[in-house]
Amino acid sequence: MTGPRYTKLINSLPATVPFIGPEEQERIAGHPFAARLGANENGFGPSPRAIAAMAAAAGDVWKYGDSSSHDLREAIAAFHGVGVENVLVGEGIDGLLGYLCRLMIEPGDAVVTSDGAYPTFNYHVAGFGGVLHKVAYREDHEDPQALIAKAAEVKAKLVYIANPDNPMGTHHPRETIEAMVAAVPDGTLMVLDEAYVEFAPEGTEARIAPDDPRVIRMRTFSKAHGMAGARVGYALAAAPLIAAFDKIRNHFGMCRISQAGALAALQDTTWQAYMRLLVSGARERITQIATQNGLSALPSAANFVAIDCGADGAFARAVLTELGKQGVFVRMPFVAPQDRCIRVSVGPEPELDAFAAALPAALKATRATLSR
């Protein structure tokens, strides 16, 4: 009796996932988290108008969603001042990255990213047989010049950068990103992940023509709109590239409830402004908590703050573990020297209070353990 005959590529891949979700961690620990501050979710939640729209759409959930996300795409196009042919809607940025790799990557194709940047992109590249070439961060920022130089060197199909960055929360001004686009080598597509750009200072969002064939921009409703569980992302790119996704995407992958919620969220500009204030205040609170414990926080342009624990990755990982024992879920970067930090997402005051209460004990326990 034989089992499934996997491809050689699948047989070569490790059995892994980019992140272990908080629910799985709660099941392993046997208790729920008191503070869920590790997944860069927006704990302040979505617009009340989005909630109402999703509730109204629930009665029609027996229907498949609009396969072209027509109304949402039109609203996104109007919001950005582009044509609807420049907009693709999909199952979060993660889903869109998977489609992009399926569209672009064959086994052996070169792809460039930063060492320690968003691991789900790497996961998709590996899943289609791409070869990752990584460059180091520079002063806790992704290095646009090094990324472009490496892309030219290896003749990369894709070069990835997030602005603002995950996991550090740092950002580049628009002029730096625009210069990067101008320098993209022939035959390379730049993937600009802008998941957190709504939280960034004015002047961060790059000015890129919608029909520029050198770049595809990724946006999401998971962060600023507080709808991570709805799985709605979108891409902005030249019309021929957007049209090419129709060859491989899951045409009925977008739930009609999610589409209705995203459309209402996009139209609620008052809630968007309110959310930026909430996130800014929570970043300040996390920074204060770090300072009160003798730690330093990196300036953040995202909905999380990277806190420098003042030692190495082993120390930061032990702090993270101790926080988990106290019911506080946070994450950390994977690669040195960024792994000297823990990464704390914004959230409501009670959750930040729980973090503030747990951090001193976590630091004390870690120092005691590692000094033995």
Give the model confidence (pLDDT) of 245-298 as tens digits.
999 999 999 999 999 999 999 999 999 999 999 999 999 999 999 999 999 999
How sure is the predictor about 372, in pLDDT bands with cuts at 50, 70 and 90? low
**How do residues 27-67 score in pLDDT, each as one tens digit?**
988 989 999 999 999 999 999 999 999 999 999 999 999 99
State residue 37's pLDDT score: 97
Instruction: Say how many C-beta atoms besides its own lie within 10 A of residue 62's C-beta.
Output: 6
Same domain (yes/no): 25, 117: no
Confidence (pTM): 0.96
Same domain (yes/no): 82, 36: no
State residue 16's pLDDT score: 77
Same domain (yes/no): 101, 69: yes
Give the DSSP letter of residue 201: P
Same domain (yes/no): 26, 128: no
Residue 303: which CATH number? 3.90.1150.10
pLDDT at 17 over 80: no
Is 364 strand, coil or helix? helix
State residue 151's pLDDT score: 98
Same domain (yes/no): 241, 297: no
Query: Would you state the structure tokens that stand for residue 238, as one six-digit string?
Result: 């030249």
Mean pLDDT of 96-108: 98
State residue 29's pLDDT score: 86
* Residue at which a domain ends, from 208, 238, 267: 267
Mean pLDDT of 160-174: 98
Same domain (yes/no): 199, 78: yes
pLDDT at 201 over 70: yes
How sure is the predictor about 370, in pLDDT bands with cuts at 50, 70 and 90? confident
| Cβ-proximal residues to 293 (8 Å cutoff; 6+ apart), any chain | 359, 360, 363
Same domain (yes/no): 23, 137: no
* Integer Cα distance of 92 and 76 in angstroms: 15
In a domain, 301, yes or no: yes
Mean pLDDT of 223-230: 97
Query: Domains in the chain: how many in total?
Result: 2
Q: Are 233 and 90 in contact (CB under 8 A)?
A: yes
Same domain (yes/no): 113, 208: yes
Question: What counts of helices (H) and strands (E) characterise the chain?
Answer: 13, 12
Is residue 185 exposed (0-12), middle (13-18) or buried (19+ Cβ within 10 Å)?
middle
pLDDT at 165 over 90: yes
The residues with which 132 forms a beta bridge, in sequence order, are 111
How sure is the predictor about 129, in pLDDT bands with cuts at 50, 70 and 90? very high
Same domain (yes/no): 106, 245: yes
Same domain (yes/no): 131, 187: yes
State residue 236's pLDDT score: 98
Task: Tell me the percentage of the chain whose pLDDT exceeds 70.
Answer: 99
Q: Are 104 and 134 in contact (CB under 8 A)?
A: no
State residue 202's pLDDT score: 96
**Can you give the residue range of the structural domain that contains 297?**
18-45+270-370
State residue 20's pLDDT score: 84
Instruction: Say how many C-beta atoms besides its own lie within 10 A of residue 19's C-beta.
Output: 12
- Is the link from the previous residue into 164 a cis peptide, with omega within 30 of 0? yes
Same domain (yes/no): 104, 250: yes
| Cβ-proximal residues to 327 (8 Å cutoff; 6+ apart), any chain | 31, 32, 33, 34, 35, 354, 358
Ranking 15-19, 142-146, 226-230 by mean pLDDT, the lowest is 15-19
pLDDT at 199 over 80: yes
pLDDT at 1 over 70: no
pLDDT at 371 over 80: no
**How do residues 317-342 score in pLDDT, each as one tens digit?**
999 999 999 999 999 999 999 999 99
State residue 3's pLDDT score: 85
* Residue at which a domain ends, from 215, 247, 267: 267
| Cβ-proximal residues to 185 (8 Å cutoff; 6+ apart), any chain | 148, 151, 152, 155, 156
